[in-house]
Amino acid sequence: MAVANKHIVSIDIGTTKISTLIGEVKKDNILSVKGFGISSCIGIRKGVVVDIKEASKSILDSVEAAEKSANLFIDSAYIGVTGKHISFISNWNEININSPSKVVRKSDVDKLITTANKVNMPPQYDVIHTLIKQFVVDEEKEREDPVGLYANKLAVELLVIYGLAPSIKNVVNSVKATNIEIEDIILEALASSEAVLTTEEKESGVIMLDIGGGTTDVAVYKNKKMIFTYCLPVGGNFITNDISIGLNIPFSKAEEIKKKFANVDYNFYETLNKINMGEIKIDRSKTMLNIRLYTIVNSRVKEMLNLVKEKIENYKILHSVPCGLVITGGASQINGLSSLANTIFDMPVRTGVSIEVEGPSEVIGNPIYSTGVGLLKYAYQMEKFIGSEHIENKKRKDVSLMDKFRKFILKVLRSEN
Ligand SMILES: Nc1ncnc2c1ncn2[C@@H]1O[C@H](COP(=O)(O)OP(=O)(O)OP(=O)(O)O)[C@@H](O)[C@H]1O
Ligand SMILES: [Mg+2]
């Protein structure tokens, strides 16, 4: 049954900004971003909450801006999670099909997955996702859905994604402090992939990079499934910091210069003299300044891309991605990035923004919102999968009462600061 006129809310808690998006599922099953809010972020470092009070204040600012833009009250949301504490393991399990007919039933699949999901996790870790990589029916690999097939033996390979429990709890508590209920927690790399990758890319094999302010989230897809993920705790803020130190200027000025003038294209050297950085009052010749900027930014971005490449290479999947690399996130806008990534990875590269979703172009066409839009898209898929019954039975709250209560909490929160 179609899910109509239902709102889905996502909160992307990034290192530099928090974005809240309100999605609406239209009658034709198309997801549309109906409202959005953004706030600059304090209390997050390298994708991880370091100050719950500051983080929850920023979350509330962003939520309220989204509420205002859509004229709707938000009482629950899907939340993104990332950080270098996140890792994964592949798990395998197989069962014999014992029924006389030898037809795989849903109960066989449920039993198989439940057992495979019992991973021996160290106590300080929590499972974030259990994703099916593939079913194997009598040695035949890559079965999508084995229910109804004849089989002697059924096996499943799972990708179990987990993270440090205290880090996840800090994100949860920052959101809870705003009195917003968490629908679910979703890996940010999974969300960004959902936003920017085509089904064909996921099927053939592709690498997704979301280069944000404090992290670079990586996901690799093959046969439509995520097979690898990694979070490099380095992002665009590190480039800004290098410029700030290298040119001896404040961070805010370095950020401005990065966005306006930085370029990592190998061919950029030829045009260095033509770039006018005159408005930056630094006592150095124009060409010298340009070369210095190029060297600073180029070496940092090169280092970041090489670190990601090495991780994927170590997992022996670098040559399973004919669709190459799709780069998104705010720092994907750095000039010349595709060209440099193409040289380093030796594969096709494109920059990605959200696809197959409607909404304001300032959201859909801006790579800083890829995670937020992806959270909405992934949540919508999950809700569709769980079924309309669950959605229709979801408890609806007394909006005006809740609104009053949260405003009161907000006042208390603010008066404490
Ligand atoms: N035009 C641009 N050129 C280069 N860099 C840019 C541009 N616009 C934004 N950035 C950089 O993008 C980064 C922010 O990206 P984004 O909003 O995706 O990160 P985030 O979600 O806050 O952080 P993270 O995902 O790492 O926790 C900043 O480092 C910013 O300087
Ligand atoms: Mg981000």
pLDDT tens per residue, range 3-37: 334 699 999 999 999 999 999 998 888 999 999 99
Contact status, residue 43 vs residue 50, Cβ threshold 8 Å: yes
Ligand 1 atom, smallest distance to 235 CA: 26
244-269: pLDDT as tens digits? 999 889 999 999 989 988 889 866 65
pLDDT at 387: 62
Q: Take atom 28 of ligand 1 and give the residue whose Cα is closest.
A: 213
The kind and range of the H/E element at 368 are: none
CATH number of 87-164: 3.30.1490.110
118-171: pLDDT as tens digits? 777 778 999 999 898 889 988 776 667 888 888 899 999 999 999 999 999 999
Query: Which regions of the chain carry the CATH code 3.30.1490.110?
Result: 87-164
54-63: pLDDT as tens digits? 999 999 999 9
Which option is the CATH number for 6-84+166-196+356-415: 2.60.40.10, 3.30.420.40, 1.10.150.120, 3.40.50.170?
Answer: 3.30.420.40
Residue 242 DSSP symbol: H
Q: Is 255 in the pocket of ligand 1 (CB under 6 A)?
A: yes
Tokens of residue 50, six digits: 């370091």
Phi, psi for residue 350 in degrees, rounded to 5: -135, 155
Q: Is 366 in the pocket of ligand 1 (CB under 6 A)?
A: no
**Which residue carries 């005159």 as its tokens?**
278
Residues in the chain: 417
Alpha-carbon distance of 152 to 104, in angstroms, equals 9
Q: Is 157 in the pocket of ligand 1 (CB under 6 A)?
A: no
In the predicted structure, residue 92 carries a pLDDT above the cut 80: yes
Q: Separation of 94 CA from ligand 1 center, angstroms?
A: 44
pLDDT at 301: 98
Protein residues placing their CB within 5 Å of the ion ligand 2: 14, 212, 371
pLDDT-derived band at 406 (thresholds 50, 70, 90) equals low
Q: Take atom 17 of ligand 1 and give the residue whose Cα is closest.
A: 368
Our CA angle for 134, 138, 144, nearest 5°, is 30
Tell me which architecture the domain covering 216-351 has in CATH. 2-Layer Sandwich (3.30)
3-state secondary structure 127-188: EEEEEEEEEEECCEEEECCCCCCECCEEEEEEEEEEEEHHHHHHHHHHHHCCCCEEEEEEEH
Please, what is the average pLDDT of the chain?
87
Determine what percent of the chain falls in helix, strand and coil, rounding each to the nearest 5: 45, 30, 30
Contact status, residue 22 vs residue 66, Cβ threshold 8 Å: yes
Contact status, residue 21 vs residue 375, Cβ threshold 8 Å: yes
229-246: pLDDT as tens digits? 999 999 999 999 999 999
Alpha-carbon distance of 377 to 366, in angstroms, equals 16
Alpha-carbon distance of 358 to 36, in angstroms, equals 13
> What's the mean pLDDT in 398-406?
50
Query: Which regions of the chain carry the CATH code 3.30.420.40?
Result: 6-84+166-196+356-415, 216-351
pLDDT at 281: 59
pLDDT at 118: 74
